[in-house]
Amino acid sequence: MLSSFVAIFSRHRHLHLPPSSSARHFLSAASLPNSSPTSSKLRSKYSFTPPPSLKPRINPNPPDPKPPKPRYRPPSSLDRGGQPAAVSDLPFDFRFSYSESSPTVRPIGLREPKYSPFGPGRLDRLWTGVCAPVVDPRRGSQEDERKLREKRREMWAKIQGVPLTDAERNALVERCQRHKTKRQINLGRDGLTHNMLIVIHDHWKHTEVVRIKCMGVPTVNMKNLCSHLEEKTFGKVIHIHGGFLVLYRGRNYDRKKIPEIPLMLWKPHEPVYPRLIKTTIEGLSIEETKEMRKRGLAVPVLTKLAKNGYYASLVPMVRDAFLTDELVRIDCGGLPKSDYRKIGCKLKDLVPCILVTFAKEQIVVWRGKDYKPPNNGDDFLLPDREPFDNNDDDEAGPPPKEDECLMRFYDGVLNVIGNNASSPRHPHHCSNSITHPTARA
């Protein structure tokens, strides 16, 4: 057996294999002869066709393709897509705030370019940086202003119609009480703004009257606020109680006939106005001005203003204080700086007075050298009860004067005292004595 193995080994020892054959497996595909291509020959050799069940079905009437969704645009995009500019026939200039801005005061500069807050190409009026005037200022005239005033007056009279009676007014006011409805518009430091006109008309779609709560700076001059409300909304203020107003829309009100009110997209920057407080007070030297400011911060406080309070009695208080004092100080601790600066600007025009300083959150005003109390002081105040139409009290004649009322009061008091003195007193009866507030005990 060993000899046969040696013979086989000696027979094949001179056989030379290729160098790569040792690395291949004897059953590998490389060692097999060339095979046929991998593609099948059934389709070409036997003419095979798939059955109808396997053929793709093509609809002869394909449906309309779904339109593609529009590309997303952020909300700040102002492209109107070729729409024309809005046209509004409202007979007044468009401003951000109507009650807190005055067309008679001209700014000395702008804080931004004249970009219209209504959006580019969205309104047919030119933005001047302060307002969008109804009449082009380059071609306007006094005659145009007079026509606009007449148009506003005619629109207001047409919408209001026949005046309300006392019974109708009381019924409408009762409908606006807190226990009746929660609908309310809050009017804050910006006053009557342009977009608030849209809010008021939206409320008038559901009810004839709307309750407005006034707070903060605009309440210093409530008469001005009420006049702007009536002029810009063509409504009528039928009730005033503190900071609450009831605004009536009118008998002939029709929202479809009201001209379009464009939406103001953002709040424009306030322009630059002249300084309220200058380095020196007019008529005084630098040393006298410094001494007055130092003395003004030391005088007793007239009143302290609360944040978002009701300031309608502030102007009469300052006028009364000027009858005896030269300087008046008002504590504005906790109020924003812009608020008490606006209050000081209003006091300057309404009292009138001279602003001394705003230092340390205080408003210090000076009555001036030749101060004279205003003769029309009562015209500024709103009476407790407005002289509404169809008032039954008008038939009784004009109200008695203040002196006559005091005389009647003291006559009644003296009669009561005389009757008590002539009648026997009860053992536990206490005599009431009327003493003047300034009399000493």
pLDDT digits (tens, 9 = 90+) for 78-102: 566 667 888 888 999 999 999 999 8
The full set of domains in the chain, from first to last, is: 83-271 (3.30.110.60), 286-380 (3.30.110.60)
The rounded percent of the chain whose pLDDT value lies above 70 is: 72
Query: Tokens in use for 369?
Result: 């050298």
Mean pLDDT for 40-47 is 67
Contact (CB, 8 A) for 169 and 76? no
The answer on pLDDT for 227 being more than 90 is yes
Query: Tokens in use for 348?
Result: 């300057």
Per-position DSSP letters for 362-379, written without gaps between them? EEEEE--SS----TTHHH
Q: Return the biggest CA–CA distance within the chain.
A: 172
The rounded percent of the chain whose pLDDT value lies above 90 is: 52
Other C-beta atoms lying within 10 Å of the C-beta of residue 117: 19
Helix (H, G, I), strand (E, B) or coil at 43: helix
Q: Which residue has the higher pLDDT, 176 or 138?
A: 176
* End-to-end CA, the chain: 156
Degrees, nearest 5: CA angle 145-146-151: 95
Please tell me the distance from the alpha carbon of residue 367 to that of residue 355, in angstroms, as a whole number.
Answer: 9
Please tell me the distance from the alpha carbon of residue 408 to that of residue 404, in angstroms, as a whole number.
Answer: 6
Task: Tell me the pLDDT of the chain averaged across its residues.
Answer: 79
For residue 389, the model assigns a pLDDT of 44
The answer on pLDDT for 303 being more than 50 is yes
According to DSSP, the residues that pair with 363 across neighbouring strands are: 330
pLDDT digits (tens, 9 = 90+) for 401-433: 444 444 444 454 344 344 444 444 443 333 333
Mean pLDDT for 245-268 is 93
CA-wise closest residue to 230 among 246, 217, 254, 244: 246
Least confident of 103-107, 125-129, 182-186, 391-395: 391-395
Q: Which residue has the higher pLDDT, 237 or 3?
A: 237
Contact (CB, 8 A) for 353 and 318? yes
Please tell me the distance from the alpha carbon of residue 296 to that of residue 291, in angstroms, as a whole number.
Answer: 8
Mean pLDDT for 381-391 is 47
Report the DSSP pairing between strands 327-331 and 301-304: parallel
The answer on pLDDT for 171 being more than 80 is yes
Helix (H, G, I), strand (E, B) or coil at 89: coil
The answer on pLDDT for 109 being more than 50 is yes
pLDDT digits (tens, 9 = 90+) for 2-30: 455 545 555 555 544 444 444 444 444 44
Mean pLDDT for 181-195 is 94
For residue 61, the model assigns a pLDDT of 84
- Exposed, middle or buried: residue 319 (CB in 10 Å: 0-12, 13-18, 19+)? buried
Q: What length does the chain have?
A: 441
Mean pLDDT for 260-266 is 93
The helix (run of H) or strand (run of E) holding residue 150 is helix 142-160
